[in-house]
Chains A and B, each alone.
Chain A
């Protein structure tokens, strides 16, 4: 019920391009993700949703038909661990809003700081990134960094862009890894700091539980925003996203989640493949980071990271693939999945890991992530295999509303192409 109202809300305030009531996308290969590829099929979009799809659909006479012969239709990519909207220019502090001060900020809300006019959002969506999980990050020593939000890159304000908020609370597990070449003093200091951080995590959960107990006993009382934000996590109504990459972090995070009895989603997981059996047995979902990372350790094979996804899939772990190269690189999400596919992950599984699986992990698989009747018409048209770097995204719809794929970069391109073609005046 609640979820439905969001959709209506969003539709009412939809952006610049007016949506036709009923659209038929015709002639393209439909990459449904959920049930294979329908070659030269049709999709009927009505009221922002997929009303029908198949080889042919029964469309009302008034429906506008878009001929996409030779093209490919995909469900929108889901950026499962993103900074989009919270970051504009990395080196300009004034444009960065993803890391609050201090260690314990479970109450911070990513949603309210999302800049709907971010140039980066426009660039990302132009490559098919149509659902975005915006995650508050750890700044200097941050641990519980805040609550993430799931948005669509379409709307006048963050309120219109909201799909789910909050999705969950994020915990960035501190690392014990330290390059051996650092001076001993720095090593000791870091080890000391690590101990303190681990203590701070324990203390935060202990305090939040104490708060919860006090609240249950005496309704009312004073409100602590931090512990209030933790209640849904403690009550397993929301997942706790724990960001952990190396083996020690993952080991500790898994133990911690078991101890605290929270609904764990592991994020990052460079070494997660070493825990594949545990993740599978405990049904811990994973948002796996980029393939485009170097192995953590000198002795590891060059493809240690590339081949991780294939190993996780073989073990039956539920995982999404995310992009951790910052917001400006979010458009390259599909190539992270493709790189995993080049080294052992099935290609369909790679596509699923950036569409349907993240939708499942983020709790919106009933709305997004695949081309299925009843799901939101959040999809795009490409001129080839969308996992190939050379493939162009031609058009895109978000909840049935076609979005403008032009952006600062295309505008500059046109402008300077004009300069050389003698068309434009400066």
Chain B
């Protein structure tokens, strides 16, 4: 007896959760020896009474789908099923093509356990691990990794994904920069990859990854990551060319083997797509730039903020795999803590559910993925339905799970729609699957195999039933309502529990209802097409019977399509606070009656006018005739100066200003990682700054390439570039590069002394010379030259096309580099150069610029002799001197920094202001465009309420290219908008936040005591995490020159 009952339960459980035993299975043709009996079950199946969504937008209401051996044979209106087919009646349920998740980690073997000992709390010098196999030298470059060689299908995980409606997933490698190649697999329940692998090496996967503190492996910055990616593609091309050349030349020197570069050939030739992860909204542009440089067949793995850069994505016409991230309501419940929530974050919370809709409306092809959700089983459908409720058309939602991913992954002929010839991957669900949380997924079909979650043909028990009893007196009618998983059963006013599983409705009426003793009587009804038959036990031993007919049904009706809500206001750029709806326009104007600091031969005009048109200065003088159509601006009592120029800034640099892992990293480019959302740009603009050079830090002797920008707040990264400015590069000398202040453990990297610094510069320049020479005179038939981005930048230095800005302090190192510069005929600009006054004659002779601080000193040993008279002494010897900021804060008052040179060394007012206007322009070699107010130059100027040299001066307007980029009045209006928007969004977020907190409280109460033995954390030094800081940050001072020490 007991045994029998047990076996019944087992069978039921199996039916409910796994492949239905009776369904046809399909054995794929293969070579494996058959164990036991061969499975020759016919795989010919007809699904009838099905609502077929053959592809997005195409529905056959009462249709039939026939499949044979795992392929769809026919799809059409209801008709007679083929005689030899197994008929499965779907009872009107809806059939979609099986869903595809294009970004999954399914079936990937667990990572080898990391050593138990925690990473060191302090940074350690990088020690390379001996490499295995013929790999790329960098650990993060693993394009040869082929998941089809590694996957281990996991039926349990497959089932969890099938429950969401997925029938196939792309299992994609998720670690490293070149991450390797993905595999498309079905979610069948075989444990053999041979059975489920649909397509190996679907795509090469890339991400802008870099190592994190305290690791110190190259690359450790976003710009380093981009540089490594570019170099690797060039190397793959070089390998291809070299091999072709070798084939033609019998005596060719053998090239070293490199399986990593071999593995890149397909994607380099655009035969294989490249799926490139964009970690944040500024990465789209970065990823697109790399893809277009190498003509890759790109698919972007998105991040849920695509709506913030739609125009670019639309123009690129590149497909996107978009996640559905759960954006929690920001912490706004405590008014003081709520101060720390940015408007851009509040806006994102509101806008995130609209992201898929925005993609659809922009016509950008996109797939949706469950990746990134912590609990996809709970969150995937609720997030997707939230997107639909936010106006995403259901057809697009379906496409994003079917035809779109199929097409991106190159399997559109196999998957994605219900068409003859395609694989029989289906999902059977309620028609309102995309809009109702009550909709169910009943079953899925993969390769002709049926996986049942809920019996789609099971009758719906809800409604009124007429009961007939034999052996007992029971009530005549029964009323069933509620959800299938949570039914309410009522007889008159008496309600009692019930459950419905398989096709068995089990009721637990009170005994009194049947005139029986006992609190509850178990009574089970088997539901059939015509009615129900059932039985129960009275007094625990006497069987009685009941039959029932359904007099009225109350099956659920599909939820109606929601009306499309209004989308949030169009995004500004940057999003949120102080963003712009559009860029300012160039004005034709004449500013009159101002004190004009021309910084030119015209000197200072006491009652001067400045006329501008088409972005340029047209005239500067007294009583100017206004250009036709110019607006008149009364600047009486005001001062006009040229825009301030900062030669040394680290603002607007995303995710690390120092590569610094190698002594020489001239291949990295700040220009690749400009962050146009950095509020420092706007704040500097409000301090009268119009141009700045964004420099790599000083953690290594030869750093990266700089980027000169104009502070066109509201423009994107490209829009900030100062096109006319020549290219630059950062070099550095002294304490930072010899790691003097990095901690005693940093004592191995060359160089550790100023002797070594001079030699590594010398050696690098010689290498660049030889590289340039080899490129300049290619021998006919010679081996293809490898393009070396590191040496290329230095070759440009030698060719005079790239200006060296060299971080320097002490006179010995300044002199040493000056002599090297003479030897290699380069004219650098010395940065910081606080002991420049000691060798001003040498600098003058070299023609080098000197850009320092006005009065900073004593922050480290090499600045003990820094004096505020430096600028004046340099100037006295004919050196072009300037003051810079190296600080997002100091940059806001460079005008008064310049004023200090009057006190320290007696500069004239004009010469003092030149330190932050004309002289930096000369140093950046843009003095023909900016730095003074002269006809023909760019209309970059500042309107002040007092002398720009006064401590009490305030910027009223800052103009760039004849456009007003800052106006204190506009700023005041913007504050009011920010205030109102914050209030609105905080009020909106509060209820959700309060609910979330209550939930968290309950969870916390359930949680066990935290581990008391956990160590007290060391003080967090934000500088160490600088490379993690994404866009839309506050102004934490993390972008400093060296990884360990500021300046």
Q: Which residues of A are at the interface with B, using a C-beta cutoff of 8 A?
A: 88-92, 119-120, 140-141, 176-183, 186, 189-190, 192-193, 196, 246-248, 251, 271, 292-299, 301-303, 326-329, 331-332, 335, 338-339, 341-343, 347, 387-392, 408-409, 412-413, 416-417, 419-420
Contacts and interface: CB of A to CB of B under 8 A. Distances in A.
A339 B951 CA distance: 6
B135 interface: no
A247 B339 contact: yes
Contact of B951 (A297, A338, A408): A338
7 contacts: A120-B858, A180-B340, A192-B1010, A293-B889, A295-B1035, A412-B837, A416-B873
B493 interface: no
Contacts of A91: 735, 740-741, 859-861, 1045
Contacts of A119: 858, 864
B502 interface: no
Interface stretch (B287-295, B312-320, B479-487, B1025-1033): B1025-1033
B345 interface: yes
Interface in B856-911: 856-861, 864-865, 867-869, 873, 876-877, 888-890, 892-893, 896-897, 899-900, 902-905
A392 B903 contact: yes
Interface in B887-937: 888-890, 892-893, 896-897, 899-900, 902-905, 912
Interface string B944-967: 000001111110000000000000
B858 A90 contact: yes
Contact of B950 (A183, A388, A392): A388
Contacts of A342: 951-954
A180 B341 CA distance: 9
Q: 9 nearest interchain CB pairs? A: A338-B951, A91-B860, A189-B1017, A328-B858, A390-B902, A389-B899, A247-B336, A299-B577, A294-B1035
A335 B896 contact: yes
From A183, A302, A409, residue with most partner B Cβ within 10 Å: A302
Contact of A299 (B576, B971, B1014, B1028): B576
Contacts of A332: 855
B344 interface: yes
From A335, A389, A392, residue with most partner B Cβ within 10 Å: A389
Contacts of B1014: 192
A266 to B, nearest CB: 15
A395 to B, nearest CB: 15
A193 to B, nearest CB: 5
Contacts of B950: 388
Given A298-B577, A390-B903, 12 more contacts: A193-B1017, A248-B337, A298-B344, A329-B856, A331-B855, A332-B855, A339-B951, A341-B951, A390-B899, A390-B949, A419-B838, A420-B841
A343 B946 CA distance: 13
B7 to A, nearest CB: 48
From B741, B865, B904, B1017, residue with most partner A Cβ within 10 Å: B1017
Interface in B821-864: 837-838, 840-841, 855-861, 864
Contacts of B340: 177, 180, 296-297
A181 B1029 contact: yes
B1028 A335 contact: no
Contacts of B1020: 178, 182, 186, 189-190
B954 A412 contact: no
From B838, B951, B1032, residue with most partner A Cβ within 10 Å: B951
B589 interface: no
Contacts of A391: 903
Contacts of A339: 893, 951
Given A390-B899, A409-B868, A420-B840, A179 B951 contact: no
B342 A192 contact: no
Nearest to A291: B893
Main secondary structure of the interface of A (DSSP, over half): loop
A177 B868 CA distance: 36
Interface in B737-753: 740-741
Contact of A292 (B855, B868, B890, B1035): B890
B715 interface: no
A297 B1034 contact: yes
B893 A413 contact: no
B1030 A181 contact: yes
A417 B904 CA distance: 12
Contacts of B975: 301
Contacts, number: 187
Contacts of B858: 88-90, 119-120, 327-328
Nearest to B945: A342
Nearest to B655: A181
B1035 A298 contact: yes
B1019 A328 contact: no
A251 B336 contact: yes
B409 interface: no
B679 A412 contact: no
A388 B899 contact: yes
Contacts of A302: 682-683, 686-687, 892, 971
B440 interface: no
B1019 A389 contact: no
Given A297-B340, A413-B869, A179 B952 contact: no
A193 B1018 CA distance: 9
B342 A299 contact: yes
B1016 A196 contact: yes
A140 B1019 contact: yes
From A89, A177, A181, A189, residue with most partner B Cβ within 10 Å: A181
Contact of A388 (B897, B951, B1018, B1034): B951
Nearest to B1036: A179
A185 to B, nearest CB: 9
Given A89-B860, A409-B867, A409-B869, A387 B337 contact: no
Interface in B670-684: 679-680, 682-683
B13 interface: no
A299 B343 contact: yes
A127 B491 CA distance: 94
Contacts of A341: 951-952
Given A181-B1030, A390-B900, A335 B951 contact: yes
A297 B683 CA distance: 12
B1022 interface: yes
A412 B837 CA distance: 9
B982 interface: yes
A384 to B, nearest CB: 9
B85 interface: no
Given A180-B345, A297-B339, A389-B896, A420 B855 contact: no
B88 interface: no
A200 to B, nearest CB: 11
A298 B1016 contact: no
Contacts of A389: 896-897, 899-900, 902-903, 949, 951
Contacts of B904: 413
A246 B1017 CA distance: 22
Contacts of B1019: 140-141
B988 to A, nearest CB: 16
A189 B1010 CA distance: 12
Contacts of A189: 1017, 1020
Contacts of A347: 952
A328 B949 contact: no
Interface string B983-1025: 0000000000000000000000000001000101111101001
A392 B900 CA distance: 9
A297 B859 contact: no
Nearest to B906: A392
A1 B476 CA distance: 106
A139 to B, nearest CB: 9
Contacts of A247: 336, 339
Interface string B1029-1047: 1101111110000000100
Contacts of B971: 301-302
A294 B683 contact: yes
